[in-house]
Each structure stands twice: as structure tokens, then as C-alpha cells.
Structure 1
Amino acid sequence: MAERLLGLECDFRNASSVDDCKRQLEIARKRLAAAHAAGGRPSRIISAYSGFIDSLLGRVWGDLVDAQVSQSGISLIAVGGYGREELHPGSDIDLLILLGRDASPEEIERIERFVRFLWDVGLQVGHSTRTLKECVRHARADITVVTNLMEARHLTGATGLLSRLRTKIAPSRMWSPRKFFAAKREEQLNRHARYGDTAYNLEPQIKEGPGGLRDIQTIQWVGHRYFGTPDLQKLSEEGFLTEAEVKELVKGREFLWRLRNGLHFLTNRCEDRLLFDYQREIADQFGYRDGAQLAVEKLMKRYFRTVKQLRVLNEILLQHFEEAILHPGRKRTSIINRRFRTVDGMLEVSHPEVFTRQPFALIEAFLLLIQESGVRDFRGNTVRLIRANLKLIDSGFRKDIRCRSLFMEILKSRSGQTRALRKMDAYGVLGAYLPAFGRIVGQMQHDLFHVYTVDAHLLFVVRNLRRMDITEHDDELPECSHLMQGLFKKHRLYLAALLHDIAKGRGGDHSTLGERDALRFCRSHDLSDYDAKFVAWLVRMHLLMSWVAQRQDISDPEIIDQFVSQVGDQERLDNLYL
């Protein structure tokens, strides 16, 4: 049924009639919405809509812009997402009106009439009118312009102009693969920073946020500049991706496309933020139903886990591109031990069987990442091996004294705890090693205190504590920094921070349930009985101070006496306060 609905055709009585075009556009959008509701493939929906708009624009251009003028030196070009034939229901229709020479007054008038007509019809048009020379000048100066032009697609008008433009903006003439990659990598870093460098905001931006559609497009853009094609399959053929990773990328992209289509149909505009107001209806579109877990929680958990995987794949690919484009040729290798070495500052396993032969190296890798000087990150092939060997992290692995000791060494390190734990989380190691953590990955929490998923919140708390321990940040929270820097056995507080919401989503009092998990974990990791109970107490009481301060009368001496008796001593008070 969905496929039949996607057979969109332009049946114009008069292409220069606004009402006729509006009617055709409304019919097409209704059919697309019906195809979406019937479970049609998102890639087919956006491709069908692109094809329909191609036909509409071709007919309107033919009626409003003189054919003779068009053939003499004006082309209508699709750029951006429309150029890729990835036109979502509410997306802007990005057009370039390409001139072989300066336009005459008559041509300018015809072009302006054409653009006004499209707006009158109800199309959201983003357009520019430029000569070849102007396009080249802007492309040379602006990475976003050359990126848009790389995706350009001829619609109608003079046929030779686009090929001439492609020749002039080729990598041999401007934006070499090296410069293009460096600019795109910087662009992505800045974009991620705008979203707090996390994909786990409870109202995520599915296009621009980390792990979103823009990250996939960045991969394709760099591949296009380097290999001459944006096809993900080409990356597999060149050894940059495995076949399984290509399928993972395509599957993740289809999921995000479906989400984006759903948002556009629901709001009737270009809405790319998955706000609370829309999440329940989108969950219903996906067929999720309330059960032990709410339908909206099922949807969002799937979303967060999908973008987490996509972000790792983006990281692997960009690291491969960095080596191939920025640092080709012979590599500088340094041996760390029998299991690991560095290659141009990137941590790598010494051979592909390291993890299968010595599974504890799955934890050791993250300790070396933060302890070995000069190590910038993991090499892409090592990330791939870590993900492929997660199945080795079982009950026997968790009982292995080497694994337990290595994990505690990470928490006790002089620095790097946040970096190590975030990497462990990103690659699935933390959730496998600590199954209770694995269960809350992507878990939503709706209250006044949290804006991230449970797992992201826990890691942010660890990050904030670590930041208080760095003197250069003393000006941010001076009192907290003073306390943190003088704290005894800081690893206990890091553990409590990592575990304090670990039992969210199970039903019952998460503080009490979390206390049991914390006590069990600490004892299995050979903390003293006092320290194990200390961490467990922090987990159970982590809401006490905020509860008393915000919901009780702190001018009442009895309330203060009760709080003092519950806390007991200065050490507990300092840790609880932090």
C-alpha cells in the first residue's frame, strides 16, 4: 500500500496557476503522509517527494521562464538536501539559479517572478542567483558553499553550466581533500559543542546534534571530496568501513529519516527537535504501546542508542580519514607493552587477537588512554575490535581480579576519569562491565532536575566532580573546589556519583535499590567494609540534602538536629554536599 501511495505525478491543467499548483502539492503531501503512516520506507518517501518537486519546478520554470532564455545560459540547479534527493516534507527547497553571464533586466524579472510564484504556492524556497564566476568566488571562500555545490543536481535549463561549475570547484582547484577534511572536522567539533557535546539531551536535535543526520552527512561529504562519490558502499570497498558497519549506518539513517518525516508531518513545518510535546505522538506513529515501560520511553531509548552507535561510527571513519588524508605515509610507532602500542599518538592493539587471548585488555586499554603520555585517542581499528569483543565481558570477566583492579585504577587515577568512563560508555564497555549501567543507557527521566538521560547524567556528575578537583576551574565554584581538592579517597565519591541513579526505571525507591547495587559492587571490587558502606550510604542519601533544603523548614532546630543525626560527621557531610 505504501509503495502505491508514492506514485506521485504532476497533473497540471495550468502550471502557471498558483491554485492548480497548490492543489497538486496538497495531494502529493497527503499521499506522502499516508505512505508514512502505512510504514513506507523513509528513503522512498523523501526520494518520491524530491521527484515530485522536480516535476513541479520543471513545469513552472517552463511556463514562467522563457525556454529560449533558459537554453541560452540559465540553469535551475537543486543543491543541499534537495540536491541529494533527500527532501523531507517540511524541508527548505534549496535552489541555485546558475547564470553563464550577467543576467539582463528581462531575465532578472522572469527569475524574480518564478521565485515569487513558488512562495505563493507554499513552498519554502532557499535560493541564490549567481554567475559561474560568483559561484567559484563564494565556494573558494566558504566551506558550506562548496559543500552545497558538490551536491548540485541539474533540474532544467542550460545543460552545460553545471558540468563547467563542477570542473571549476574540483579538489584540484580548491578545497583539496586535506583542507576540506580539516574544515569539516572543525565544523563538526563546533557543532557538537553547541549541543553540549552530548546526544543525550531529553529533547534532542535529530539533525544537528551529535550522532544525528549531520554526522552521517559529514562522512559522506568527506568521502565525496576524497573518493569522488558520497556513496557509503564506496567506503566499504576502500576498507574504511566493514559491510556490517555500512548496514548499521544505513539502518540508523533510515530510523532518523523516519523520525524527521514524522516530526515534519506532525508539525506541518521543518521541525527537527524532538520536543516532549511530540514524543508521545511520534511513539504512536512507530507502533510503540505502553507496557511495563511507557511507549515514549521505548522510542527514546531506541533513539539514544541509535545515535550513540552512529557517533562511534562517525568517530571511526573520521579517524581513518585523518590518517589517509592528513597523515599518509610511514607511521611513528612506540611499544607500550605486549598488548598495546601507539601509532602517531593513537593507541592501538599490538595484534588483532589481543582481546580474545587476554580479555582484561578491554579495561586496560582505557587505563592506558589516560595514563600514557602523548596518547591522543584510540585508533579506529582498535575501537572496532573493542566493539566486536564486548561478548567477552561476562560474569567470569567481572570476577577477574585483573579487570577489577584495572577498573579501580581508572577511578583512582590522578586525572582522566571522565574521559575514560565516557569512552567506555561510548564503546559499550561500561554497560557490559556494569550491567546495571547498561540497563539505564538511553533511559529517560522527567523531573525538574535532569535534562539528560540517566546514563549521561551520571557521567556529567562525575565530570563535574573531576572539574572541581582541577585548580584552574576554582573560580567556577570556589567552595566546592576547595572541598573537593582536600577530600580523602576521592575515588569513593566518583563511585557514588557513577552509581547514585543506577536503579532508575526499575520501580520502587531507586535510592534504596541503588544502595544495594553500590554495596555489592564495592565489595566485589575489594573496597574495605567501611568504604563500601560509605559509598552505599552516599547513594542512598544522595537526595537528602536537596530534600531538606527545598522541602523542609531549615529555620526549625529540630529539622537541623534530625539532618545532623542522619549525616553523622564532617566527612559524610562534605561528600554528600559535593
Structure 2
Amino acid sequence: MSQRFETLPHRRAIIDRRALADALAALPAGEDLRGRATPLLRDALAAGREEIARRLIERPSAGNETAASYAFLTDQILRLVFDFTLQRLYPRNNPSTAERLTLAAVGGYGRGEMALHSDVDIAFLTPWKQTAWGEQVIEAILYTLWDLGLKVGHSSRSLDDMIRMAKSDLTIRTALLEARYVWGDQALYDEAGRRFNSQVVDGTARAFVVEKLGERQQRHDRMGDSRYVVEPNVKEGKGGLRDLHTLFWIGKYAYQVPTVGELVEQGLMTAKELRRFRRAENFLWAVRCHLHIVTRRAEDRLTFDVQSEIAQRMRYADRPGKTAVERFMHHYFLTAKEVGDLTALFLAHLDERFASRGRRLGIPSLKRRPRKLDGFLLDRGRLAAPSDGFFAEDPVRLLQLFALADFNEVEIHPLTLRQAARDTRLIDNAVRADPRANALFMDVLTSPRDPERVLRWMNEAGIFGRFVPDFGRVVAQMQFDMYHHYTVDEHSLRAIGLLSRIEHGTLESDHPLASRLLPQLVSRRALFVSVLLHDIAKGRGGDHSVLGAEVALKLGPRFGLTGAETETVAWLVRYHLLMSDTAFKRDLSDFKTILDFAGAVQSPERLRLLLLLTIVDIRAVGPGIWNGWKRQLLTDLYQSAEEVLRLGHKQRGRSERIADKRAEVAVELGWSRQRFDAHVKRFPDSYWVAEGTDILERNARQIAAADAGDKPLSIVAQYDAQRAATLVTIYAGDHAGLFYRIAGAIHLAGGNIIDARIHTTRDGMAIDNLLVQDPFGQAFDDPHRLQRLASMIEDALANRSQLASKLAAKPSARTRADAFTIEPNVLIDNKASNRYTVVEINARDRPALLHALAYALFQAKVTIHSAHIATYGERAVDVFYLTDLTGDKIIAPARIKTLAKLLVEAAGGVPAKRERVAA
């Protein structure tokens, strides 16, 4: 029996192999003997799993024991099946030397670790070419295992085949590295082990190390290359179980040790690091085992919909300011960080052993040698401390270490990082107040090179959080929503990295305006500090913008900022959401929106700073969040506000802007003066302000074509590269309920409306411009999809599509969003616009939400002039600019109350009473 299983308590309560073997032996001979044995084995397997699950409930953090228990149970089942097959189904009294067979566990099962739904990876080994008897036995064993519902990964090889394939395939070599004898011919298994070590492993350790490290990096790239994604993969993600396995594979291959503990004797780990390894492994296995039980499948991604249940199963409780699930995930991310620390230290030891003299594994040599290191040393191109007490002599050196690494563009030796992490306690209030230490920190934060990389090292070592305790409070802190992809500290570091890349010009195609503005800044230091601090107060139970501004006022002077810089940082942190809220939730064609925003910003420099902070904040949320439409809105808002803020802006007012647009459109159309003037007279001034000149031109051509053909309805859907969306324009006779029908049809066609501008001509026609994306935030650009979109809208407006019943039959919301409770909230504001009542609805996002809200507005007998749709993960924020049917604001208290009631019900999913023609 594996040593891993010897410490399992009450093994016979999991499965009594002897009693079960007796029951199988007692089965009378006859037809379908295997079929009659299967129920006995299936019941034993189910009972064993039930017992293991019960133990996990009693001891929810016993990860290693649970993983070993599942492997032990599988071992016993395999032994029973093996013996039953050889003794009862295909007995051989005098087997030949070629008819020897051994069964080995490989991969994770070989390590003696499994979760409930893990694959059972096994290898059948034979001395030479497979015999007919051996084929029958293996086939019968596999059929029995499949009948038991086990997911079996298997191979059948001779010893020569095993050696040949292990030499040529890294995956096979790694699986065999962890091979463990389960049952069968022991001598044959021992011979396989000897040949594997002598013919495959010997002399190839360095190549194996390099290959496994490359494989590890590819896996990290595939999984997002961050251990701080808020829905981490427990097995494959960075900082997960696979990273621990990789360390053991490399150590076992290089030193040929059977257990992790023996790596201590080889000097690859200290006893303390081994305890950290086992603690991290135990926690991650506990999470994975709970995850398989909760999801009832081989699921290794810790998604939002299961995080709360697993936190409850593992007995995390709510604490002031932090829920149980947030505490659980905080523990998870700290464990992932621990795995990262162990990995760095382990690789440092490997460098010492396997790298060529004076060089490192796969790392190029330095381009230039640093001249001034202030007492630090270079060890194979990495910065190192010269002695164990170096930091204790002057704790400011803990900051100087990272400043030198940044300035000289060198890495820090992992053993020195371990020394720095050990000495973090030396950073006290005196060090935090030391001007030298703060100047060094600011050198790193505002570095013109790669501040993200060095700040990340500082964070991994624990220096960052110790030197800036407010930052330490958000380290590994998750944001329990579907919008943010990373923990708070990871988000902030990524934002700093993005700002640096914009400054270097590497993102100019994505951010042309930001790339042009950043070199013009007077307050560059203030910008970098504000990016660092914008989310510093998350998790404190209040408005993180307000609380963060207070932190900024405290930290600014300490960092060496001037009074003006500190005030700027505090303002940016306080209002870091102002620009995105205005751009994505308000009508930028309403001049009062621009005036209110410019009044809050007050200066062109603040406007530039706020734009840059807003861009990196949004983009650092996660992949797929930033798009061309958001860039367009922010650019429009910036340019409109800049015009208001710059000197002499009053010389050019609304009427001049409208005249300029009309003149530009007239040139593009090339129409006669008389024809164009007739077109102009059909529209109010608000139409010319709201739309860009490109859309104004498209609208004019579409209207002219429809009128010339005497078409009562014209629908044009075309890809708009500038806005990264599909522009859908509907020209139709204006009537009540037009918008909700359009919204429903677009949803049925698989589209999401991200912005809507609704206009009515003076002769009673509606011209609606809608920007539409697919559920993945991409534009519809396939001609067939565009045609289907137009057809669905046409059918809905002609009442041919049974809209209500089709919407009701649509699948419900995503299950991951069900993990969040968001109470619908309706805000009605008559001050945000001079002409319209502005209504903002916050609700949990779901399919056809916009259609439901638009239908509620139809019931309330109001006119929609524009709609602005923003989605933040599971949360939707939809804003409508409304008037009553006479074109006035909605001010009567009774009407406002009714409007709010209808919208709250619609947002909450209460079915609305349908008019008959809507069917």
C-alpha cells in the first residue's frame, strides 16, 4: 500500500476490500458473470464516496486526506476488478513469461491524489508484445471500470514501447514520472521503474527542467497569467495545484526522490518552505474536492455561483466589512501568492544546479553591467544582498533594492527576495516616514521604465503592503462581482502598467488621444499616484471614492508630493468614476451634461488627468471590457468639455456647432441647396447636436431613398468600425411603443443595444439610431446576421413575430449571475437636463431587460428621446431621457411615483400586462 494511504484513518469504513472480494468470489459461475459483479462494485464505490464526502463535511479543510481517500478507494476498486478478471473471467493456471501484466497508476492518480470526478489514469504494462490473453483481460477490466461510471484514461504498452514513447513525449514522460504500482506483477513494475530511470531520466534533467518551465509559462499565458483572477482555476491557474505539481516533477526528475519531503534533504527547500508547500497543497485540494462535490462534475474553475457555497462548506463566516465569501477568496489568493513565492525560491535553487556557469536557465545575459549598486551584488545578472544582516543594518535598503532593480533593469535574486520578505518587520513608522524611503518608492512608482513589474515584485515580497499599509489592506482582496476580473491590488498594478505602456507609445493605436495627451501633462507624478490609490479604500464599508480621497490626503505629503499635487491626487481619487459615469450613462448631446461635467472638473489639466485615469481604470478591469465604443464616448466627452474649459469658449455656441455640422453634411451629400434645406427643416436642433456628421449623412441618404420609394418602413443595419458596433437605423412612422418592439426584436436576433438615439421629425416620422453588439461585446458584421437583424425588427413592427411569446420562451439568465442579489433601484432626476427628465435604472442584468424597461415606459405614457445602456458584469445601468407626450418634463409627483413603480417591477422581472397587438 502507498505510504500516502497508511495514515488514512478507518480505511475499512471507506471500503472493505476483503469482504467485497469474498462476495465476488461467492458469485456462482454462469452467464454474464461480469454483469453480476458490477452492482457489487458500484455500490461499494458509491458507499466509499459517500463516506469520504461525510468526512469532508466534518473536517472541511482536510484537503490532502480527502484527495488521498479518493485515490485509496480507486486503488481498492481496481485491485478487485483486476483479481476478479484474472481469477474468474480469464483464469491462467500456468501463465507464460509473456502473459505477465501489471497495473500502474500514472499522473495525478499516480501521486495518490484525486477529487471526486478526477480522471482515473492507468497504464497496463507487459514485458513484450501484447498477447491475445492480455488483450482480453485489459478489455474486460476497462469495460468493468466504464460500467462503474469511472472516467478512465488508459494506455497499454510493452516496456520497450514505454521507454521509446517516454523519450519522445514530455507529457508521457511526466505521467510515468509519477507512476505508482497498483496491482499485478510486482517484478515487472520494478523492472519498468529501473529502465525508466536509467534509459530516460539519467542525463536529461536539465532538458526536462527547461521544457517543464516552458510548458508552465504557456499554461499561465493560456489561463490569463495572473494568480489574482476572481474566478480562478484551482488546478491549472497560476498559483494553483499544477504549479505545485510542476515543482515536485522537476525536483523528483532532477534528484530522483519519491516524496516532496525529501527535497529538503537535497537543499531545494527549507523545512519551513516544506510546511508552506503542504499547507498550500492541503488548502487547494480541499477547495478542489468541495468544488467537484458541489458542481457534480470535474469542474476546476471557482466561479461566482459556487464560491459562496464552498465558503459556507469550509465554515467561513461573515465579519464586519467582509462577507464569508470575500474572506474565503482572500484566503485563496493569499495561498496562490504563497505558491508563487515557493516557485520563485525553487527556481533559484535550480539555477544554481542546472544553469551553465555564470548564466541562468533560458535567461539572456545583461545588456549592460550596472556601475553603482550601493553595496548590493550581482549574482548571475540578478541583484542580491551581500549578507544575511544587510537589511537590518539599514531598513531603507528594503526599498532601495527595488529602486536599483528598476533603474538597472535587472531582476532580484529569489533568495534575496526571501530575505527581504523575512525582514519586512523592519519596516516601521520610522521607515515609512523616512524621506529617503519615500523618494525611492516614488522612483519605482513613477519609473519611465516598467513600474508594474517592479511594484509586483515588491508586492509579492510583502514590502509594498508593509510600507503602504493602506495598500496592504487590499492585497488579495477580491471584488465579488462579474465585472472585475482581478483582485484590487492586481487591478491597480495592471492599471499602472497600462499607463506606462501608453506613455511608451505601445498602445497608440488603441488610445491615440491618451498617447498624445500624456506627454503634455504637468502633473505626471500626481497621475501615477492617483492610479495607485484610486481603489485603495475598497472593502472599508463606505464610498471608496470618498474614503480613498482621505487616504490620498494623508499619503501625498508622506510620498513627497507638493500641496498642489496632493490636492490633485485627492480630487482624482474622489472623482475617478465621474468621467465614465457621465460618458456611459448620460446624453452627451445635452449641453447641460457637458456644462455640469466641466463645472466639476474646472481645469484642462484635471480633464487630461481624469481621462487617462479613466482609461487605464476601465481597461485594467479585465479582458474584453475596453472597446471602441467606450473610446468614442470618452473622446466625445473630453473634446466637448475641453471646448467649454478653454479660454474663449463662449465665442462658439450651440448654434455655431449646428451650422458647422449642417455645412459639412451638405458637402458630403452634394444635394441642391433647396433639397438640403427641406431636409434640415424636418428636424429639431437637438437632432443635429446629438448625431455625428457621419450618421447624419447616412440618415439623410436612407430617408431620401425610403421617401423616393414610398416605403413606410426602412431598416438599415451596417457595421460601424469607428464605434466597434453595428449601427441599426429605423425610419418609420412614429407611434407609441415603437422602441420596446425594436428592443425585443434585437434581443431575439441575439443583439444587445448599447446606445439609442430616438428622434421624431416635424412631419411625424421616427428616425432611431441604435448601436448594437453581440453578447460578447463585438459588432454584427456578417451579412446574414445583419439581414436577420433587419428582418426581426421588420416582423416585430408589423406584428408578425409573436414577440411576447418568443421573448417568454427565450432561455433565462446566466446561472453565474444568480450568485448576486441586486435590488432594482430607480432614480428620477429633473435637474440633470434642462429639457428632459433623466431616469436611471440599476438592476441585475438579464436577457431582454431593455425590452422590459421600454415596455414599462410605454405603459407610463412617456416619450423616450435617448437611451444609454451600460453593463458592469452582472449589473446593468440603463438611463433614459424622457418627456411626457406633450414634450414637457415629468414633474407631477403622482406620475413620477407611477413611473418609478412600473420600472422597478420591470427591472425585477415582474411580468407586465401586455396590450393585445404586442403579441
Q: What's the counterpart of residue 576 of structure 2? A: 542
Does 2:442 match 1:408?
yes
Deviation at 1:197? 1.5
Deviation at 1:162? 2.6
Name the amino acid aligned to 1:469.
E
Kept after mapping to 2: 8 A contact 1:6/1:48: no
Question: How many angstroms apart in 2 are the aligned matches of 1:242 and 1:435?
Answer: 29
Kept after mapping to 2: 8 A contact 1:70/1:157: no
* Alpha-carbon spacing, 1:518–1:401, altered in 2? closer, same or farther (3 Å): same
Does 2:103 match 1:76?
yes
Deviation at 1:73? 2.6
Q: What's the counterpart of residue 43 of structure 2? A: 23
* Alpha-carbon spacing, 1:482–1:170, altered in 2? closer, same or farther (3 Å): farther
Does 2:533 match 1:506?
no
Name the amino acid aligned to 2:420.
I
Kept after mapping to 2: 8 A contact 1:5/1:34: no
Q: Deviations over 1:331-381 (max 9, x none)?
A: 9998743430111101100111111001011111111111115x2x22122
Q: What's the counterpart of residue 222 of structure 1? A: 250
Q: What's the counterpart of residue 358 of structure 1? A: 394
Moved more, 511-520 or 46-55: 46-55
Question: How many angstroms apart in 2 are the aligned matches of 1:50 and 1:443?
Answer: 34
Q: What's the counterpart of residue 296 of structure 1? A: 325
Identity between Structure 1 and Structure 2 (%): 35
Kept after mapping to 2: 8 A contact 1:288/1:298: yes
Q: What's the counterpart of residue 48 of structure 1? A: 69
Does 2:241 match 1:182?
no
Name the amino acid aligned to 1:564.
A
2:164 is matched with which residue: 137, 142, 150? 137
Q: Deviations over 1:435-473 (max 9, x none)?
A: 111111121213454111111111111111111122344
Name the amino acid aligned to 1:107.
G
* Alpha-carbon spacing, 1:108–1:488, altered in 2? closer, same or farther (3 Å): farther
Name the amino acid aligned to 1:45.
T
Name the amino acid aligned to 2:494.
F
Question: How many angstroms apart in 1 are the aligned matches of 2:124 and 2:494?
Answer: 48
SS at match of 1:169: helix
SS at match of 1:140: helix
List aligned pairs for 1:194-205, cutoff 5 A.
194-205=222-233
Q: What's the counterpart of residue 79 of structure 2? A: 58
Deviation at 1:574? 1.5
Question: How many angstroms apart in 2 are the aligned matches of 1:238 and 1:325?
Answer: 14
SS at match of 1:432: helix
SS at match of 2:261: helix
Relative contact order higher in (CA < 8 Å, ≥ 6 apart):
1
Q: Deviations over 1:377-409 (max 9, x none)?
A: 221220111110011111111001110110111
Q: What's the counterpart of residue 379 of structure 2? A: 343
SS at match of 1:95: strand
* TM-score, normalised via structure 2 length: 0.60
* Alpha-carbon spacing, 1:322–1:401, altered in 2? closer, same or farther (3 Å): same
Q: What's the counterpart of residue 425 of structure 1? A: 459
How many residue pairs get aligned? The number is 575
* Alpha-carbon spacing, 1:358–1:70, altered in 2? closer, same or farther (3 Å): farther
Question: How many angstroms apart in 2 are the aligned matches of 1:230 and 1:212?
Answer: 22
Name the amino acid aligned to 1:147.
T
Moved more, 95-104 or 66-75: 66-75
Does 2:140 match 1:120?
no
SS at match of 1:14: helix
Moved more, 123-132 or 107-116: 107-116
Question: How many angstroms apart in 2 are the aligned matches of 1:48 and 1:67?
Answer: 31
Deviation at 1:67? 5.4
Q: Deviations over 1:475-522 (max 9, x none)?
A: 343333233344344332121111000000101111011011112111
Question: How many angstroms apart in 2 are the aligned matches of 1:440 and 1:330?
Answer: 37
Moved more, 484-493 or 409-418: 484-493
Does 2:356 match 1:320?
no
Kept after mapping to 2: 8 A contact 1:207/1:272: yes
Question: How many angstroms apart in 1 are the aligned matches of 2:553 and 2:214?
Answer: 44
Moved more, 382-391 or 158-167: 158-167
1:34 is matched with which residue: 22, 29, 54? 54
* Alpha-carbon spacing, 1:171–1:395, altered in 2? closer, same or farther (3 Å): farther
1:276 is matched with which residue: 298, 301, 304? 304
* Alpha-carbon spacing, 1:362–1:481, altered in 2? closer, same or farther (3 Å): same
Q: What's the counterpart of residue 13 of structure 2? A: 7
Name the amino acid aligned to 1:111.
I
Kept after mapping to 1: 8 A contact 2:376/2:384: yes
Does 2:586 match 1:552?
yes
Max Rg structure: 2
Moved more, 160-169 or 461-470: 160-169
Deviation at 1:313? 1.0
- Larger % of strand: which? 2
Question: How many angstroms apart in 2 are the aligned matches of 1:171 and 1:497?
Answer: 56
Q: Deviations over 1:221-276 (max 9, x none)?
A: 11101111153322322333222111111111111111111111212222111111
Deviation at 1:210? 1.1
Question: How many angstroms apart in 1 are the aligned matches of 2:116 and 2:565?
Answer: 57
Q: What's the counterpart of residue 311 of structure 1? A: 340
Kept after mapping to 2: 8 A contact 1:223/1:230: no
Q: What's the counterpart of residue 166 of structure 1? A: 193
Kept after mapping to 2: 8 A contact 1:67/1:157: no
Q: What's the counterpart of residue 564 of structure 1? A: 598
Question: How many angstroms apart in 2 are the aligned matches of 1:6 and 1:404?
Answer: 62
* Alpha-carbon spacing, 1:90–1:448, altered in 2? closer, same or farther (3 Å): closer
SS at match of 2:186: coil
Moved more, 567-576 or 319-328: 319-328
Moved more, 466-475 or 124-133: 466-475
Question: How many angstroms apart in 2 are the aligned matches of 1:267 and 1:539?
Answer: 40
Kept after mapping to 1: 8 A contact 2:475/2:487: yes
Q: Deviations over 1:24-74 (max 9, x none)?
A: 001000000001001063222222322222121111112224454597332
Q: Deviations over 1:298-325 (max 9, x none)?
A: 1011111111111111111112112211
C-alpha RMSD of matched pairs (Å): 2.2
Kept after mapping to 1: 8 A contact 2:502/2:515: yes
Deviation at 1:330? 9.7
SS at match of 2:113: coil
Moved more, 55-64 or 539-548: 55-64
* Alpha-carbon spacing, 1:251–1:335, altered in 2? closer, same or farther (3 Å): farther
Kept after mapping to 2: 8 A contact 1:335/1:342: no
Kept after mapping to 2: 8 A contact 1:6/1:31: no
SS at match of 1:90: coil
Kept after mapping to 2: 8 A contact 1:150/1:166: no
Question: How many angstroms apart in 1 are the aligned matches of 2:74 and 2:286?
Answer: 20
* Structure 1 gap ranges (5+): none
Q: What's the counterpart of residue 801 of structure 2? A: none
* TM-score, normalised via structure 1 length: 0.95
* Alpha-carbon spacing, 1:447–1:82, altered in 2? closer, same or farther (3 Å): closer
Kept after mapping to 1: 8 A contact 2:208/2:250: yes
Question: How many angstroms apart in 2 are the aligned matches of 1:321 and 1:222?
Answer: 9
Question: How many angstroms apart in 2 are the aligned matches of 1:443 and 1:230?
Answer: 37
* Alpha-carbon spacing, 1:61–1:400, altered in 2? closer, same or farther (3 Å): same
Q: What's the counterpart of residue 759 of structure 2? A: none
Q: What's the counterpart of residue 173 of structure 2? A: 146
Question: How many angstroms apart in 1 are the aligned matches of 2:314 and 2:168?
Answer: 43
Name the amino acid aligned to 2:51.
R
Kept after mapping to 1: 8 A contact 2:348/2:415: no
- Larger % of helix: which? 1
* Alpha-carbon spacing, 1:521–1:539, altered in 2? closer, same or farther (3 Å): same
SS at match of 2:560: coil
Question: How many angstroms apart in 2 are the aligned matches of 1:341 and 1:119?
Answer: 60
Q: Deviations over 1:161-181 (max 9, x none)?
A: 333333333266457110011
Question: How many angstroms apart in 2 are the aligned matches of 1:360 and 1:5?
Answer: 55
Q: What's the counterpart of residue 907 of structure 2? A: none
Q: What's the counterpart of residue 89 of structure 1? A: 116
